[in-house]
Amino acid sequence: MKLISVTAIWCPSCIVMKSRLEKIKTQCPWLEIEEYNYDKDLAIRSKYNIGKEIPVFIFINNFGFEFHRLQGEIDRKDFIKLLEEHKDK
């Protein structure tokens, strides 16, 4: 599974979530995370239809398709639980 993370340096929720993602990486070593900058990566914003609400986390299955999306701040434990539930997709 791949997780696409779209954040911005000026966004308080994004700063919080970037810190949480660092901890999640260590707890879920099987997870591939691609991080993008909201302001610089316009092609990603267009490809995944990302509006003004950030941060955005897009779950991509092993076939390359989006199957879930989260926006805003998410508790680390809840995030990991969701990742574990969908780990084999």
Per-residue pLDDT of the chain (89 residues; tens, 9 = 90+): 899 999 999 999 999 999 999 999 999 999 999 999 999 999 999 999 999 999 999 999 989 999 999 999 999 999 999 998 888 76
The CATH number assigned to the domain holding 13 equals 3.40.30.10
Q: Which amino acid is at 30?
A: W
Residue 70 belongs to a domain: yes
Q: How many domains does the chain have?
A: 1
Residue 72 belongs to a domain: yes
Residue 89 belongs to a domain: no
CB atoms within 10 A of CB 21: 20
Token pair for residue 11? 């966004």
The residue segments making up the domain with residue 22 are 2-84
